[in-house]
Amino acid sequence: MLHFLLRDDINSCVALALATMIVPACLASEVSPAAPVTTDWHAAYTAWEKERGEDFVDSHCGGEVAWGESYVLRMYVNLYATFGERKWLDKMVSHVDRLLANLSDRPQSPLHTNVAPQYVDGYLGWGQSRYTQYKPDYTEWLCDDGLTISPILRFVEIVWNDERLHDSYRHKADHYIAFLEKFIIAKWYRNWDADPGWNKADNRRFRQDGGYHVYEWSGWKNQPLNMYLAFTDGLVTLWRLSSAPDYKPQYPELPGFYKTESSRMLKFFHDQLRLDKQRGLSVWKYGPNTHWPDLVEDVGHGFIDIQAALQGVRQKTYFAEVDLRRMAQTFVQNVWNGDLREPKFRYYLDGKPSQYDATRGYWGFGFLYLAGYDYQIWESMASYFDKHVDLIMQQPYIAVTAAMLAIATEQHDRWAPAAPCQLAAKHHGNDILLTWQRPATDADGTPLTGVGGYFVYQVDNEDAKPRLLNDEAITVSQYLVKDIAGKPIRYHVTAVDHRRQGNEGPASKVVIEYQRAVDHGER
């Protein structure tokens, strides 16, 4: 269900009657709460993906794969799930095949000059050596593996659940889950321990990060929430997949492992949520058992937490929709400044000022998953990105905001565009040229969520049903009507949403006569 405040419709139209031309003007009766958002977010992300979508797929650095490529993979499956366009599945297959082909038991990349013998173990991983405290040592992290496998497993689930996809993608889906279980999941299962109790006193290998990789392991409970929840995301999907009739586990104990451990992980996260009952929102820490126990979670890493909460709701395990609603309010009340015209964002979820607010506060694309609980999340982020972000220059963790804005529009935008403005009609002999301008807002007065095109209708008399003149929405703001034969005719022009062509707004209207003009209004 969509939750947001309705605003008064701010547009009124007046008619200017001339002997041969009628020019209605759309005027605002009050200041709009935000400038119109005109970007087609689906097209914007498609353009970014064409230009930058392969920046990290062939990288041998697991950090770049996890914090770059995995975002691209996640948008492929999200865009397909929302719009049903198979091109995203084709891109997914192309990328995953290349990612898996780059894996080896002993990394050969010059990026990793020191590979400990423990890592030559028959298992694989998207390893890295980019963090200062590890250079030049090669390490494999639960978080990095989790970020990368989660969208791949979601692809498997989509394909398995839709027989129409089996001919084209089932063999790939089967291969991916078998590969991941054998080389990635089994590695972590073999070394699994939620809390081995390592500390500075009893383990000389303890470092500032507490041991986040597989052979210097301090347990998932002692990692930042986002780091272990990245892997939880994949485990919950595996829990569902393991109940499929054709599922064949690499090891018989894996299905039980998926259910038990993902449940424990979700519970641990839910226990960290701190509810503000008065304001109906939740705040949580970055990692209560880490080197930074008092640090509040930030909007950038928060997307991983939100994804895990969504999994918990879907699986009906420790999370319910009320938790998602509270997380939405965390953004609306703590992160966003409440201004749609000049939105600004805090970086940390408690809303306290930070040096990172201006440079990282807008990284919260994960909250767009929750736009259905408060559409102001969409409005504020769309307004900011529309005016301040050159998308093509952004890294994946920023650019995917455009994809999420498109997805949230499709899933939650129930308001069509308002009536087109400044509808005008001018005679050209026996023809009439209709011209207009795009609406300034959606029909409820909130920021425009996009215009995909326009429909033009003709009404021969006041009692007749409008007759559609163009079968498909036109994208230009004019239409030539040929040979009106000198009789009075009423024309209506409506706008429709981007990619939601059934979502048609109210009409601007005009009546054409050779001698005089008649009234103008909205249908």
pLDDT higher at 36 or 164:
164
Q: How far apart are CA 422 and CA 420, in angstroms?
A: 7
Q: How far apart are CA 70 and CA 64, in angstroms?
A: 9
Strand positions, DSSP E, 299-381: none
Q: Is 111 in a helix, a strand, or coil?
A: coil
Segment 401-429 shows an average pLDDT of 90
% residues pLDDT > 90 (the chain): 61
- Report the b/e string of 42-74 with b at 16+ CB within 10 A: bebbbebbeebbeebbebbbbbbbbbbbbbbbb
Q: Which CATH superfamily is domain 11-32+415-512 in?
A: Immunoglobulins (2.60.40.10)
Residues of the chain with CATH 1.50.10: 41-412
**Amino acid, single-letter form, for residue 399:** A
- Report the run of H or E that residue 435 belongs to, with start and end: strand 431-437
- Report the run of H or E that residue 468 belongs to, with start and end: strand 467-468
Residue 311 near residue 329 (C-beta atoms within 8 A) = no
> Read out DSSP for 120-171?
-SS-----B--STTTTTB-B-BHHHHHHHHHHHHHHHHHHHT-GGGHHHHHH
pLDDT in tens, 493-523: 999 987 555 689 999 998 776 444 444 444 4
**Amino acid, single-letter form, for residue 313:** V
pLDDT in tens, 21-78: 333 334 333 333 456 677 889 999 999 999 999 999 999 999 999 999 999 999 999 9
Q: How far apart are CA 367 and CA 365, in angstroms?
A: 5
What is the sign of the dihedral through the CA atoms of 443, 444, 445 and 447?
negative
Confidence tier at 17 by pLDDT (50, 70, 90): very low
Q: How far apart are CA 42 and CA 435, in angstroms?
A: 27
pLDDT higher at 482 or 405:
405
The confidence score (pLDDT) of residue 209 equals 61
Residue 392 near residue 351 (C-beta atoms within 8 A) = no
Average pLDDT, the chain: 86
Q: Is the pLDDT of residue 270 over 90?
A: yes
- Of the chain, the end-to-end C-alpha distance in Å amounts to 27
The confidence score (pLDDT) of residue 460 equals 78
The confidence score (pLDDT) of residue 34 equals 54
Domain 41-412 has CATH 1.50.10: yes
Helix axes 41-52, 396-412, angle to 10 degrees: 150
pLDDT in tens, 103-142: 988 887 677 878 888 888 899 988 888 887 777 888 899 9
Q: How far apart are CA 31 and CA 27, in angstroms?
A: 10
In Å, how far are 30, 376, 378, 520 from 9, measured between CA atoms? 9, 17, 19, 17
Q: Is 230 in a helix, a strand, or coil?
A: helix
Residues of the chain with CATH 2.60.40.10: 11-32+415-512
Q: Is the pLDDT of residue 205 over 60?
A: no
Q: Is the pTM of this model over 0.85?
A: no
